[in-house]
Structure 1
Amino acid sequence: MTSGLSEPPVREREFFGHPRGLATLFGTEMWERFSYYGMRAILVLYLSAPQVRGGMGLSETTAVGVYGVYIASVYLLALAGGWLADRLFGPRRTVLYGASVIMAGHLSMAVPAGGTFVWLGLVLIALGSGMLKPNIAALVGELYRHGDDARRDSGYTLFYMGINLGAFVGIMVVPWLQTGGHWHLAFGAAAAGMAVGLTQYVLGRRHLGGAGEEPDHRLTPEEERRFKRVAGWGLGALAAGLALWALSGTFTVDRFALALTVVTAAVPLAYFVFLFRGSHEITPEERTRLVAYVWLFLAAALFWLIYDQAGSALLLFAKKNTDLDILGYTIPPGWVANSNSIAIVVLAPVFADLFLKAGDRITAPVKFAVGLVLVGLSFVVMSMAASVASDGSRVSILWLLSVYMIQTIGELFLSPAGLSVTNKLSPRAFENQMMGVWYLAIAVGDSVGGQVYRLTTVVPMPVYYLALALAAVAGGLLLLAFARRVHALMADRPAARLAGAPPA
Structure 2
Amino acid sequence: MNEQTMTSARDRRFFGHPRGLATLFFVEMWERFSYYGMSAILLYYLYDRTSEGGLGLDRATSSALVSIYGALVFMSGVGGGWLADRVLGMRRAVQVGGALIMCGHLALAVPGGLPALLVSMVLIVAGTGLLKPNVSSLVGELYSMKDNRRDAGFSVFYMGINLGAFLAPYLVGTLGQKVGYHLGFGLAAVGMAAGLLVFARGRRQLGDAGEAPTNPLRDGERRRVAVRAGIGIVALAVLVGVLGIAGALTVRTLINSVTVLAVVLPAAYLAMMLRSPRTDAVERSRLIAYIPLFLGAVCYWVVNEQTSSVLAQFADKRTDLEILGFSVPSSWFQSLNPIATLVLAPTFAWLWIKLGDRQPATPRKFALGLLLGGASFVLMAGPGLLHGVEAPASPWWLVASYFVVICGSMCLSPVGLSATTKLAPRAFLAQMMSLWFLASAAASGINAQLVQLYSADTEIGYFAGVGASVMAAGVVLLLLAPWVQRRMSGVR
Instruction: Give me the TM-score of the superposition, normalised by structure 2.
Output: 0.95
In the alignment, is the contact (CA less than 8 A) between 2:389 and 2:456 conserved in 1?
no
SS, match of residue 311 in structure 1: coil
* Cα displacement string for residues 354-397 of structure 1 (whole angstroms, at most 9, x for unaligned residues): 11122243111011100000011111111112334534110110
The answer to whether the 8 A contact 2:29-2:165 is kept is yes
* Paired position in structure 2 for 1:237: 235
For 1:131, the equivalent position in structure 2 comes to 130
Deviations along 1:181-223, whole A, 9 cap, x unmatched? Answer: 6010000000000000011111111110010000011001221
Say yes or no: does 1:353 pair with 2:350: yes
Task: Say whether the 8 Å CA contact 2:11–2:17 is kept in structure 1.
Answer: no
C-alpha distance in 1, partners of 2:431/2:346? 28
Q: RMSD over aligned Cα, in angstroms?
A: 1.7
Residues 1:269 and 2:233 are matched in the alignment: no
In structure 2, the residue matched to 1:330 is 327
- Aligned position for 1:201: 199
Structure 1 residue aligned with 2:420:
422
Distance 1:493 1:297 in 2: 16
CA distance in structure 1 between the aligned counterparts of 2:390 and 2:214, rounded to whole angstroms: 57
Deviation string 1:275-308 (CA, Å, 9 cap, x unpaired) is: 233x421111111111110000000001001111
Q: Secondary structure at the match of 2:490?
A: coil
Distance 1:493 1:174 in 2: 41
Find 2:465's aligned residue among 448, 464, 467.
Answer: 467
Q: 1:308 aligns with which of 305, 309, 312?
A: 305
Identify the residue that residue 280 of structure 1 maps to in structure 2. Answer: 277
- List gaps (5 residues or longer) in structure 2: 1-6
- Which residue of 1 is the match for residue 4 of structure 2? none
Report if aligned partners of 2:423, 2:491 keep a CA contact under 8 Å in 1. Answer: no
Note the C-alpha offset of 1:147: 4.5
Structure 1 equivalent of residue 209 of structure 2 = 211
| Separation (CA, whole Å) in 1 of partners of 2:67 and 2:251 | 12
For residue 248 of structure 1, report the CA deviation from its aligned partner. Answer: 1.7
Q: What does 1:17-28 correspond to in 2, within 5 Å?
A: 17-28=16-27
Single out whichever of 261-270 and 336-345 deviates more from structure 2: 336-345
8 Å CA contact 1:152, 1:420 repeated in 2: yes
Shift of 1:247: 2.5
Q: Distance in 1 between matches of 2:39 and 2:80?
A: 21
Give the whole-Å Cα distance in 1 for the aligned partners of 2:314 and 2:386: 12
Aligned to 2:3: none
Matches within 5 A, 1:175-194: 175-180=173-178, 182-194=180-192
- Provide the residue aligned with 2:46 in structure 1: 47
Distance 2:59 2:491 in 1: 49
Shift of 1:12: 6.7
The answer to whether the 8 Å contact 2:90/2:135 transfers is yes
Contact 2:109-2:184 within 8 A present in 1 as well? yes
Greater alpha carbon shift after TM alignment, 219-228 vs 102-111: 219-228
- Partner residue, 1:4: none
SS in 2 for 1:392: coil
Letter in 2 for 1:66: L
Using a 3 Å threshold, how does the CA distance of structure 1 residues 493 and 228 change in structure 2: closer, same or farther? Answer: closer
Q: Structure 2: which amino acid aligns with 1:207?
A: Q
Q: Deviations over 1:251-288 (max 9, x none)?
A: 211221111110111111111222233x4211111111
In structure 1, how many angstroms separate the alpha carbons of the residues matched to 2:52 and 2:241?
A: 30
Counterpart of 1:243 in structure 2: which amino acid?
A: G
Letter in 2 for 1:326: I
Aligned residue-pair number: 484
Residue 14 of structure 1: how far off its partner (Å): 1.1
Q: 1:111 matched to which residue of 2? A: 110
Output the CA distance in 1 between the equivalents of 2:490 and 2:451: 39
Aligned pairs for 1:347-496 (under 5 A) are 347-360=344-357, 361-388=359-386, 390-456=388-454, 460-492=458-490
Identity of aligned residues (%): 45
CA distance in 1, matches of 2:308, 2:378: 18
Is the 2:134–2:430 contact (alpha carbons within 8 Å) kept by the matching residues of 1? yes
- Range with bigger deviation, 18-27 or 485-494: 485-494
CA contact (8 A) 2:40 2:173 kept: yes
Structure 1 SS opposite 2:17: coil
Give per-residue Cα distances to partners, 1:411-459, cap 9 Å, x unaligned. Answer: 1110000000000000111111000000001100111012111223696
Contact 1:351–1:412 (Cα < 8 Å) also in 2: yes
Whether the 8 Å CA contact 2:108–2:186 is kept in 1: the answer is yes
Is the CA contact 2:422–2:491 (under 8 Å) kept in the aligned structure 1?
no
Moved more, 48-57 or 120-129: 48-57
Equivalent pair of 1:53/1:181 in contact (CA under 8 Å): no
Any idea what the Cα deviations from partners look like across 1:143-202, whole Å, max 9, x if unmatched?
Answer: 003552x31101000000000000001121111001246010000000000000011111
Contact 2:310 2:454 survives alignment (8 Å): no
Deviation at 1:63, TM superposition (A): 0.7
Q: Which moved more, 1:42-51 or 1:29-38?
A: 42-51
Contact (CA 8 Å) 2:77, 2:434: kept in 1 or not?
Answer: yes
CA distance in 1, matches of 2:491, 2:119: 49
Are residues 386 and 449 of structure 1, via their aligned partners in 2, closer, same or farther at CA, if it must alter by over 3 Å?
A: farther
CA distance in structure 1 between the aligned counterparts of 2:322 and 2:69, rounded to whole angstroms: 31
Aligned to 1:141: 140
Question: Paired residue for 1:499?
Answer: none
Task: From 234, 248, 251, give the equivalent of 2:249.
Answer: 251
1:498 aligns with: none
Task: State the alpha-carbon separation in 2 of the partners of residues 265 and 211 from structure 1.
Answer: 32
CA distance, structure 1, for counterparts of residue 305 and residue 383 of structure 2: 18
Structure 1 length-normalised TM: 0.93
Q: Give yes or no for contact 2:140–2:421 (8 Å, CA) kept in 1.
A: yes
Q: Which residue of 2 aligns with 1:79?
A: 78
Bigger CA radius of gyration: 1
* Offset at residue 336 of structure 1 (A): 1.3
Instruction: Give the SS at the match of 2:57.
Output: coil
3-state SS of the aligned residue for 1:165?
A: helix
- C-alpha distance in 2 between matches for 1:389 and 1:199: 50
Match of 1:502 in 2: none
Say yes or no: does 1:292 pair with 2:280: no
Contact 1:85 1:94 in 2 (8 A): yes
Question: Aligned partners of 1:163, 1:105: CA distance in 2, in Å?
Answer: 20
The alpha-carbon deviation at position 492 of structure 1 amounts to 2.4
Asked whether the 8 Å contact 1:54–1:181 carries over to 2, the reply is: no
Structure 1 residue ranges (4+ consecutive) displaced by more than 6 angstroms after TM superposition: 9-13
Q: Give the whole-Å Cα distance in 1 for the aligned partners of 2:264 and 2:456.
A: 27
- Verify the 8 A CA contact 2:93 2:131 in the aligned structure 1: yes
| Whole-angstrom distance in 2 between the partners of 1:37 and 1:167 | 5
Q: Structure 1 counterpart of 2:26, which letter?
A: G
Question: How far did 1:337 drift?
Answer: 2.4
Give, as a single letter, the amino acid of the residue that structure 2 aligns with 1:57: G
